[in-house]
């Protein structure tokens, strides 16, 4: 039976299962959940077809929740940093991350017009879940978005508080689904169906082996930009159907979340987040004006000093800046493969008004890369 690095839990092929080979050493799941304690959960909403009726559908959307720590420890902050390659998008909580270098609570990713709801619902979930034990007088959770209005009734506000709760409470640490699930349900990338994707890499440092994982909600790029493993091949798909495209087919975004168990300080995590843009660039993206390309990185290390303030000096471990290159490389590799996984583990989708986005044809992709079709 193929391993979870080759297929998703539902059996969808991933890039490795298709025979594509990337640089670096993937973790056992080749997922962000290879980082100990990190969990991912989804709520997926697919309903209706035909003509758009605002408030009724069709609906192609959802919520993704990423838990930096196990659910009963998710109040404990993690050191973090962020980077905006192109700021036509939203990632809440970043002012506090810039100020204090940390955040707590689950990360949520959804569609553009539900981002505020998922942020607020995350606080409500925390107040209920930690009844009598909620440590914060205020909370500034991270919530992010990409636009799914080509396929989804985005102005119908179909994501609810209950969907956010479901995504958080379903978060698991094992193999996770990819493609049209969670917040990625209605997304497209390079003119193909895309959405949620993940990958990971081992990084050796001294006598230690650390894990770095990436998760993306991919929704960016024009078809002609598509580049796979160094081959610019988007033009090879020009004859595939693109029906009823939006006036601006490049209206798009990508959110990337990078997690690691290696000890880093906030300024180093900002630097790590910047490298996600190079993974996007390897795929052919260049930060178009209409694209919100925003990246977050966090470290689960230094747990002992993150539980609360106390009088006295604290000490944090960290990898020296001069030795960080291996982690930069792992971040680029993981984001690149995660984007491609979001496209390969997918299927054609028709949404509102008959708008249609095809899945990337596996056989033609392999042909353009000079590889044999996988059975």
SS3 content of the chain, % helix, strand, coil (to 5): 25, 25, 45
Verify whether residue 200 is a known catalytic residue: no
Distances (CA, A) of 13 to 20, 38, 60, 146: 11, 23, 22, 24
Spot the catalytic one: 5, 253, 334, 342.
253
Residues 6+ apart with CB under 8 A from 124: 161
Verify whether residue 3 is a known catalytic residue: no
DSSP assignment of 6-27 equals TB-TT--B-TTTTT---SS---
Which DSSP category does 293 fall into? E
Spot the catalytic one: 34, 148, 225, 293.
293
Cβ contact 183:196 at 8 Å: yes
Verify whether residue 293 is a known catalytic residue: yes
Spot the catalytic one: 200, 291, 299, 334.
291
- Per DSSP, the three-state class of 118 is helix
The residues annotated as belonging to the active site are 253, 291, 293
């Amino acid at each position: 039976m193929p391993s979870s690095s080759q297929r998703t839990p539902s059996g969808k092929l991933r890039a490795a299962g298709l025979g594509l080979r990337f640089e670096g050493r993937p973790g056992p799941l080749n997922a962000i959940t290879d980082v100990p304690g990190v969990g991912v959960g989804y709520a997926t909403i697919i309903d209706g077809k035909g003509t758009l009726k605002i408030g009724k559908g069709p609906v192609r959307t959802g919520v993704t929740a990423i838990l930096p720590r196990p659910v009963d420890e998710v109040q404990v902050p993690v050191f973090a940093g962020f980077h905006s390659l192109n700021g036509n998008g939203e990632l809440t909580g970043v002012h506090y991350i810039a100020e204090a270098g940390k955040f707590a609570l689950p990360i949520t990713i959804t569609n553009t017009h539900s981002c505020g709801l998922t942020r607020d619902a995350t606080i409500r979930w925390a107040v209920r879940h930690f009844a009598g034990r909620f440590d914060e007088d205020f909370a500034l959770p991270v919530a992010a978005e990409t636009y799914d209005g080509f396929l989804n009734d985005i102005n119908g506000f179909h994501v609810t508080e209950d969907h956010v709760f479901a995504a958080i409470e379903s978060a698991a640490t094992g193999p996770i689904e990819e493609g049209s699930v969670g917040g990625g349900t209605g997304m497209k990338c390079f003119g193909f169906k895309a959405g949620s994707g993940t990958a990971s890499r081992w990084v050796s440092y001294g006598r230690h082996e650390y894990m770095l994982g990436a998760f993306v909600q991919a929704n960016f790029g024009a078809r002609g930009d598509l580049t796979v493993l160094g081959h610019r091949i988007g033009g090879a798909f020009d004859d595939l159907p693109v029906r009823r495209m939006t006036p601006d087919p490049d209206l798009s975004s990508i959110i990337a979340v990078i997690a690691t168990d290696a000890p880093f300080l906030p300024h180093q995590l900002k630097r790590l987040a910047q490298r996600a843009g190079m993974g996007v660039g390897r795929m052919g993206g260049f930060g178009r004006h209409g694209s919100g390309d925003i990246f977050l990185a966090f470290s689960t290390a230094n747990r002992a000093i993150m539980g609360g303030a106390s009088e006295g000096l604290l000490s944090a471990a960290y990898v020296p800046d001069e030795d960080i290159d291996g982690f930069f490389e792992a971040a680029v590799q993981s984001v690149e493969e995660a984007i491609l996984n979001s496209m390969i583990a997918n299927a054609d989708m028709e949404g509102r008004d008959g708008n249609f986005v095809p899945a990337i044809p596996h056989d033609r992709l392999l042909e353009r890369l000079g590889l044999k079709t996988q059975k």
